[in-house]
Amino acid sequence: MTRYQGSCFCGAVRFEAEGDLADGTLRCNCRFCRKMRYWELRLPEPEGFRLLAGRDDLAETPRADGAALDMHHWFCRRCGIRLWTDGEIPEMGGRFVQVVVAALDDVGEAELISASVHYTDGAHDDWMNPAPETRHL
């Protein structure tokens, strides 16, 4: 397991996340993820996420569709950079934290290139199964 350091563009928000890009990453085909070109690393344990600085600089994207999912997308209100998603969804295995791969500061190109990507079908609330089409993600 690796302890990654992450931050927003302006540096106001900083965090640590324990996971391993070698275990794979996630891209989703739901409307939000498609618009954000979201690429995530799901942490094996939600407790592996620690906010180090910037709690007052965080903002949450409001749910446009009014869905009752317990899923929260966090970003820096100063520079707008997406940072992580957390929540609790039984279909996704319960409580989770997923950090945005692009927000990780200490990851080299070789590690990014070698990280496998699982394309999930969030567009149909079927996160455990692959998306039927991925070329647009």
Q: Is residue 128, in this structure, part of any structural domain at all?
A: no
Name the domain count of the chain: 1
| Predicted confidence (pLDDT) at residue 93 exceeds the cutoff of 90 | no
For the chain, state the CA radius of gyration. Answer: 14
pTM attached to this predicted model: 0.87
Q: Is residue 129 part of a domain?
A: no
pLDDT at residue 86 is higher than 80: yes
Task: Name the residue range of residue 110's domain.
Answer: 2-117
In a domain, 137, yes or no: no
Task: Quick: pLDDT tens for 22-78.
Answer: 999 999 888 888 888 889 999 999 999 999 999 999 999 887 666 667 889 999 999
Give the number of C-alpha atoms closer than 13 A to the C-alpha of residue 64, restricted to the C-beta side.
5
The reply to whether 132 falls in a domain is no
Residue 82 lies in a domain: yes
Instruction: Point out which residues pair with 119 in neighbouring strands.
Output: 27
CATH number of the domain bearing residue 37: 2.170.150.70
For the chain, the straight-line distance linking the first and the last C-alpha, in angstroms and rounded, comes to 27
- Please report whether residue 36 resides in a domain: yes
| Residue 64: per-residue pLDDT | 65
Residue 38 to residue 53: CA distance in whole angstroms: 23
Residue found under tokens 């979201």 = 38
Q: In the numeric block, which tokens belong to residue 9? A: 């563009």
Is 135 contained in some domain?
no
Taking alpha carbons only, the member of 84, 115, 88 closest to residue 100 is 84
Tell whether 133 is covered by a domain: no
Residue 119 and residue 132 in contact, taking contact as beta carbons nearer than 8 Å: no
